[in-house]
Amino acid sequence: MTLILALDFGGTKLAAGIAHLGSREWLRYERRLSPASADAKTDLEIMRSLIYSLLEGVTPSVIGVSFGGPVDATTGTVRLSHHVAGWENIPLKDLLEAEFGVPASVDNDANVAALGEYRFGAGQGCHSLFYITVSTGVGGGWILNGKPWRGMSGMAGEIGHMVVDPNGPVCLCGKRGCVERLASGPYMAQNVREILENEQQRHREASVLRGFPRQSAQVGKPAHAAASPLKQLARRRGGEVLRALVGDNLQLLTGQLVSQAAADGDDVAKEVLYQAAWALGLGIGNVANLMNPQRFVLGGGVTKAGEIFWQGLRKVARETALPEVTFEIVPAALGDEAPLWGAVALAESLFTMK
């Protein structure tokens, strides 16, 4: 039978699976973590080991690849990775075809996951959908009239770098207030760390001033004037759950732990998680106004954050879009395997073109 090899190069994980053409079950599947210090060479070596472990001497008929970063899908060349060094202008398609002697197709992970959800998951039956992955980064992929749409230079769908807060924190792309800077897992963890570290500093300063006489209000400012949200947050003494999870070592915080702490009632975690939902909801509402897809499908680790995230996201998206603009927002059905099953769909399309 015709054997498909599907590969997923993620920002922090690498995965591979093999399946027969037309099957919806893996013959074999394996996932490995990419070391924090990994570069392109490291990831390629890990993936190569993964592939040969799965194939067990069998040669695939076609290869489909999902890559976590900008890709020239016409040539299969990786442009770069925002999270792993050394991927600039790597001809991944050519490398795979040279090693295995079979056709390969490579595309951006969000585009591939969109195809996977359209063919096998939450996008079945839709004529148009926008898939959004919210994990190490934030990206998007389009299906329009039943076909992938990449835009003129293959960069359509980059919702992660839509600016929603021009005065917000600086994103890795250099702009301020991008959706990714506020909603991705690593940045959520960073935002929590900054709040808690600032709170520690305020407590230290307060201890120095303790014992000095204090005015009940500033001159010209009523005593009942509302405090800023950040001060109110500090006043509620949030962060206890977060600190308990990492033993006061804030460097161990992750987006997943932020979501867990929010579910357990930590005020700081809930605030940061709602900020992520707000940023993504604002982006979705604007995309709905501009393109009006039938369905938004959301995947990635952050989308497992629970009702605080989903309720806030849907509320902001609905308030941002015009009342006449109708759309659905649903979780991905394929979960973390959406890019890998999308790679299967990519490979199947390639096989039918042979």
The three-state (H, E, C) secondary structure of 216-248, written as one string: CCCCCCCCCCCCCHHHHHHHCCCCHHHHHHHCC
Q: Does residue 184 sit within a domain?
A: yes
Q: Give the whole-angstrom CA distance, residue 203 versus residue 342.
A: 50
- Look at residue 210 and tell me if it is in a domain: no
Does residue 209 belong to any structural domain of this protein? no
For the stretch 155-168, pLDDT in tens is 899 999 999 999 99
Vertex 126: Cα angle to 125 and 128 (nearest 5): 160
Q: Is residue 114 part of a domain?
A: no
Report the domain count for the chain. 2
Residues 235 and 300 in one domain: yes
Question: Does position 140 have pLDDT exceeding 90, yes or no?
Answer: yes
Model confidence at 352, in pLDDT bands (50, 70, 90)? low
Domain annotation covers residue 216: no
pLDDT at 300: 87
Q: Are residues 345 and 324 in the same domain?
A: no
Extract the runs of DSSP E, i.e. beta strands, from the chain.
3-9, 13-20, 28-33, 62-67, 71-72, 77-78, 104-108, 128-134, 138-144, 147-149, 295-299, 328-331
- Determine the pLDDT at residue 302: 87
Listed range (136-140, 278-282, 293-297) with the worst mean pLDDT: 136-140
**Could you tell me if residue 217 is inside a domain?**
no
Q: Is residue 239 part of a domain?
A: yes
Query: 160 lies in which domain range?
Result: 122-204+229-332
Our measurement of the distance from residue 77's CA atom to the centroid of its chain's CA atoms, rounded to an integer in Å, reads 22
pLDDT, residue 228, reads 38
**Is the pLDDT assigned to residue 90 strictly greater than 80?**
yes
On whether residue 27 sits in a domain, the answer given is yes
Asked whether the beta carbons of 260 and 245 are under 8 A apart, the reply is yes
- Is the same domain home to 10 and 153? no
Comparing 60-74, 103-117, 208-222, the range with the smallest average pLDDT is 208-222
Are residues 141 and 87 both part of a single domain? no
Residue-wise burial string across 143-174, b where 16 or more C-beta atoms lie within 10 A, e elsewhere: beeeebbbeeebebbbbbbbbbbeebeebeee
pLDDT band at 83 (very low <50, low <70, confident <90, very high): confident
Output the average pLDDT for the chain: 88
Tell me the pTM.
Answer: 0.83
Q: Supply the pLDDT for residue 247.
A: 85
* pLDDT at site 170: 95
The answer to whether residues 318 and 306 belong to one domain is yes
Is residue 139 within 8 Å of 133, Cβ to Cβ? yes
pLDDT digits (tens, 9 = 90+) for 224-244: 334 434 444 443 457 889 999
pLDDT at position 207, please?
53
**pLDDT by residue (tens digit) across 16-43?**
999 999 899 999 999 999 898 999 999 9
Q: What is the CATH number of the domain that holds 346?
A: 3.30.420.40
For strands 147-149 and 62-67, give the pairing.
unpaired
Q: Does residue 135 share a domain with residue 104? A: no
Q: What is the largest CA-CA distance in the chain?
A: 83
C-alpha to C-alpha distance for 119 and 340, rounded to whole angstroms = 12
Are 45 and 147 within one domain? no
Binned at pLDDT 50, 70 and 90, residue 127 comes out as: very high
Read off the pLDDT of residues 181-225 as tens digits, 9 standing for 90 and up: 999 999 999 999 999 988 766 655 555 455 544 444 343 333 333
Is 36 in the same domain as 94? yes
Same domain, 234 and 309: yes
Shared domain check, 151 and 18: no
Confidence at residue 12, expressed as pLDDT on a 0 to 100 scale: 83
pLDDT at 154: 85
Indicate the pLDDT class of residue 336, thresholds 50, 70 and 90: confident
Query: 150 and 131, same structural domain?
Result: yes
Same domain, 307 and 343: no
